[in-house]
Structure 1
Amino acid sequence: METLANLESFVRSAEDGSFSAAARRLALTPAAISRNVAQLERNLGVRLFQRSTRGLTLSEAGERFLQSVQGSLDSIQGAIADIMVNAGQPAGVLKLSAAPGFGMDYLLPLMPAFLERYPAVTPDWYFDNRPLDLIAGGFDAAIGGGFDLPPGMVARELGRIHLIAVASPAFLRGKRRPKDPAGLGELAGVAMRSPLSSRTRTWVMRNGAGAEMAAVEKPVMVVNDPDALCRGTLLGLGVGLVAVPHAAPHLKSGALERLLPEWHVDVGPISLYFTNQKLLPAKTRAFVDFVTEAFRAQKLAQVLSVRNRGRGNAAYL
């Protein structure tokens, strides 16, 4: 495979008619240009120039070779110049993954400001509750929880997801409220199915003192989507262990009431996943930094958990 330096030395020498002129154009010495051309001729096994005291003349083979490579060389150099100028500019399609409810409520609202700052980036969102193979799927970044962390991926924690026990006022009317998580088994419930095992999830609740107790559920319906879980609870089907950000607006409006106010489920971190590369694409780096800063500035980590008392909807939690 020929080097770019050899090809460039040949093309510029042919265009200028001398090694000296090509050397000035390429900021090299005439001897270096001559060596590059001679090496190219040896590698190709043909003479490209007829050399004389009056200068250089292309051979017949040299004429054909120049016509073949001249345009391509200009295209390559243009591409190199473009990548050097624009390497730091975020641009291109950014393939992203997030859970539907969380993504639409908390990530899509960030997009107007993101696109205003980075208009050359096109976010391509995939909303799915199932853990994905991010590398095999060609994703630039994903936001969620429960992803296996394969080699080559890193996770930046954005916050922690907490679940709380809630039910509609109509459902609770005339019923005795449980005193602890075990007492939830006395009431009908809307339960969540694991996307990995397809089995009903069993949650462990904890209180402020650090005590832990399994949440006993008596499901009348099982769903595989957090939004469906919240909707079923709103419809009065039973008690649901609903994520704080889903429950908060309905607690504020009175459409839901919280049970066991001292207890919650810590589902684990919600993280931003992306490839561990020294030369992370500018579009991915821009997204990672933008989302991280937005979570900090808007205090979204507190919104996701029960540790936000005294802030916004926290009074209803």
Structure 2
Amino acid sequence: MQPLSHLESFVRSAEAGSFSAGARQLGLTPAAVSKNVARLEAGLGVRLFQRSTRKLTLTESGERLLLQIGGALGTLADAMAGAAEAGGQPAGTLKVSMGQAFGRTYVVPLVGEFLARYPAVVPDWHFDNRQVDLVGEGFDAAIGGGIELTPGVVARELARIHIVAVAAPAYMAGKPVPEHPSDLAAFDAIMRRSSPTGRVRAWTLRNAAGDEGAADAKPRLVFSDPEAIAHAAMMGLGIALLPMAFALHGLQSGELVRVLPGWYADSGPISLYYPSKKLLPAKTRVFVDFVVEKFREQRFAARMQGI
């Protein structure tokens, strides 16, 4: 019978598409994972991968083996992780990805209470403004918006995020009050450039009555970071169209006010993503339940809609 470490190195590398990605998940070096797979191939007497400098491709034998053992090995690993939890309590390293500003503002303040509840869990949190490959990069969970639901990943919606027009009171002083999104054309705007596309974002706002209007503001500044846009708006440099997650602090402090109250754009949900496993590790399960509980207590969904 082949050692479990050899089989696990094969499965992780096959699922992730490279020895280096498989090694990151296993906490090994790429050389060690490659050697484990080579020993597995030697023991079985078959070639499992076609290797090249650019990619790793499964052979027909490799595809057959992955299909036969992939799910069973995952179930076995989850069961072993559950059995190893200290004193029956959730334990282990919890690898989570989240946006930089969002994580600092909404998730980091919760970590003290989380550690008090689950002292054997070690948060290993990555603050990245990018979409991660949850399974391929070995994350236990991720918090964000627009992450692709690849096979084996589920999403639990935390809130739908509204885009609202905001400005500093000093900037609006003495200016006519806009009543329709088209009125924003008369004001300086702090616009956002989308990092994935490189385009300046254009928004169509709507109200409760179902009316719609394009926010055709003239760019005065163009930033790619919504947190920077919020700071520029608080400096009185123009009107900004911001997700409520980034506008809320300024609105609560009085450094920002709503322009066109009642008008908004829906930018989609922010969700908690995690692998869809039958035996979800306890450290992941309690983290998911904890975040959902705390966000519900704080009326996060309502606040993200300006309610």
TM-score above 0.5: yes
> Which residue in 1 is equivalent to 2:83?
84
> Which residue in 2 is equivalent to 1:235?
235
> Which residue in 2 is equivalent to 1:253?
253
> Which residue in 2 is equivalent to 1:217?
217
* Unaligned segments of structure 1, at least 5 residues: 4-79, 309-317
**Structure 2 contact 85–92 (Cα < 8 Å) conserved:** no
Q: Matches of residues 102-181 of structure 1 in structure 2 within 5 Å?
A: 102-181=102-181
* Unaligned segments of structure 2, at least 5 residues: 4-78
> Which residue in 1 is equivalent to 2:195?
195
**Structure 1 contact 130–195 (Cα < 8 Å) conserved:** no
Equivalent-residue separation in structure 2 for 1:145 and 1:245 (angstroms): 12
> Which residue in 1 is equivalent to 2:244?
244
Q: Which residue identity does 2:294 align to in structure 1? A: A
> Which residue in 1 is equivalent to 2:100?
100
> Which residue in 2 is equivalent to 1:36?
none
Q: Indicate how the Cα distance of structure 1 residues 131 and 82 shifts in structure 2: closer, same or farther if over 3 A, else same.
A: closer
Q: What is the CA-CA distance between 1:282 and the residue it aligns to? A: 1.4
Runs of 4+ in 1 over 4 A off after TM superposition: 80-83
TM-score (normalised: structure 1): 0.68
The structure number with the bigger radius of gyration is 1
Q: What is the CA-CA distance between 1:250 and the residue it aligns to? A: 2.4
SS where residue 116 of structure 2 aligns? helix
Q: What is the CA-CA distance between 1:271 and the residue it aligns to? A: 0.4
SS where residue 284 of structure 1 aligns? helix
**Structure 1 contact 129–195 (Cα < 8 Å) conserved:** no
Number of residue pairs the alignment of both structures matches: 231
**Structure 1 contact 189–238 (Cα < 8 Å) conserved:** yes
Q: What is the CA-CA distance between 1:162 and the residue it aligns to? A: 1.1
Q: Which residue identity does 2:92 align to in structure 1? A: G
Deviations 1:278-309 (A, max 9, x none): 11111111111111111122222112212x2x
SS where residue 263 of structure 1 aligns? coil
**Structure 2 contact 167–258 (Cα < 8 Å) conserved:** yes
**Structure 2 contact 181–260 (Cα < 8 Å) conserved:** yes
Q: Say which is worse superposed, 162-171 or 84-93, in terms of deviation.
A: 84-93
Q: What is the CA-CA distance between 1:173 and the residue it aligns to? A: 2.8
> Which residue in 2 is equivalent to 1:292?
292
TM-score (normalised: structure 2): 0.70
Q: Which residue identity does 1:298 align to in structure 2? A: Q
